[in-house]
């Protein structure tokens, strides 16, 4: 086990999850995701696409704290308290996206035997990526993985 894997397991034990931030590359926007929430809290891992590391980190920590405290979220549910001034929506991620986005979860769970949700957020104008008034750039920056 290398130092990164050891830190990941230590973070899961201490905080309930480890968080990874992936920089934008080619056509892929930046994204952040959890590793270990399903192991520590029995709830889906979470991914956030297109936000700054600091903001995504805060949102993932909020999600982790809330599910560890017993809160449960359902796909399609709108949530407050993650992004100041805006709701987020929970979307179930299709496992065909796992290899492209959440390699460390594949490592931890030794395959695709875990659940993953995406916290989707609206634009600052209030448009969701699937709304007709949403810009193409916003849709590219936050692909929906369901």
Q: pLDDT of 87-133, one tens digit each?
A: 999 999 999 999 999 999 999 999 999 999 999 999 999 999 999 98
Coil, strand, or helix at residue 141? helix
List Cα–Cα distances, 87 to 44, 57, 100, 116, 144, in angstroms: 19, 17, 26, 19, 16
Note the pTM of the prediction, 2 decimals.
0.94
Residue range 68-72: mean pLDDT, rounded: 95
**4 Cβ partners below 8 Å, 6+ apart?**
none
Work out the pLDDT band at 28, boundaries 50, 70, 90: confident
The pLDDT score that the predictor gives to residue 27 is: 81
The closest of 112, 130, 113, 109 to 121, measured between CA atoms, is 130
């Amino acid at each position: 086990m290398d130092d990164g894997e050891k830190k990941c397991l230590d973070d899961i034990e201490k905080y309930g999850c480890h968080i990874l931030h992936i920089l934008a590359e080619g056509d892929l926007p930046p994204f952040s995701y959890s590793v270990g929430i399903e192991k520590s809290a029995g709830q889906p891992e979470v991914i956030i696409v297109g936000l700054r590391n600091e903001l995504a980190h805060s949102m993932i920590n909020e999600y982790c704290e809330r599910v560890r405290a017993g809160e449960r979220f359902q796909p399609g549910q709108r949530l407050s308290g993650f992004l100041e001034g805006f709701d987020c929506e929970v979307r179930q991620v299709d496992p065909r996206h796992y290899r492209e986005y959440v390699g460390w979860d594949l490592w931890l769970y030794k395959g695709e035997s875990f659940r993953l949700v995406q916290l989707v957020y609206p634009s600052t104008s209030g448009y969701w990526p699937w709304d007709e008034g949403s810009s193409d750039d916003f849709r590219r920056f936050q692909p929906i993985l369901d």
